A = this chain, B = another copy of it.
């Protein structure tokens, strides 16, 4: 940690900073990868590439993308027999972590809401009482 400069000007607890980071990752996934051509055959490789890319970003210790190109409408025929990645096809849980604390967040299409929902599933580790990062440093 000592190699990296501080990120936030606001005094945030680790938990709070992780919630921000979880949002950054999910917002980025949605807006970066939609539109990539995909079929059931290429979906696993694309999912791995997304995982490896997201894993480079700060604090991410786990990300597991699943892509099912059969969701979200039928495929074309002949030379149009592939799809473009859309929000209905993809689910991505991410787990940013900082020491003992971690946030589990997820991007998944919610048919009931007609909306690609990004949400926090769980927060792990010491919570409210954790000292703000700035004071701890």
Binding site for B on A (CB under 8 A): 1, 3-5, 7-10, 12, 15-17, 19-32, 34-39, 42, 45-46, 48-49, 52-54, 56-59, 73-80, 82, 84, 86-87, 104-105, 113-123, 128
Contacts and interface: CB of A to CB of B under 8 A. Distances in A.
Contacts of A48: 45
A7 B32 CA distance: 22
A69 to B, nearest CB: 10
**What is the count of identical protomers in the complex?**
4
7 closest Cβ pairs, A-B complex: A23-B23, A27-B27, A4-B78, A3-B78, A27-B28, A31-B32, A24-B27
Contacts of A58: 79-80
25 contacts: A3-B78, A3-B79, A4-B79, A5-B77, A10-B120, A10-B122, A19-B20, A20-B105, A23-B23, A23-B25, A27-B28, A32-B32, A34-B84, A35-B35, A37-B53, A49-B49, A57-B82, A58-B79, A59-B79, A73-B114, A74-B114, A75-B114, A76-B115, A80-B114, A80-B115
Most-contacted residue by chain B among A25, A54, A57, A78 (CB, 10 A): A78
A54 to B, nearest CB: 7
Most buried by B among A27, A46, A79: A27
A104 B10 CA distance: 9
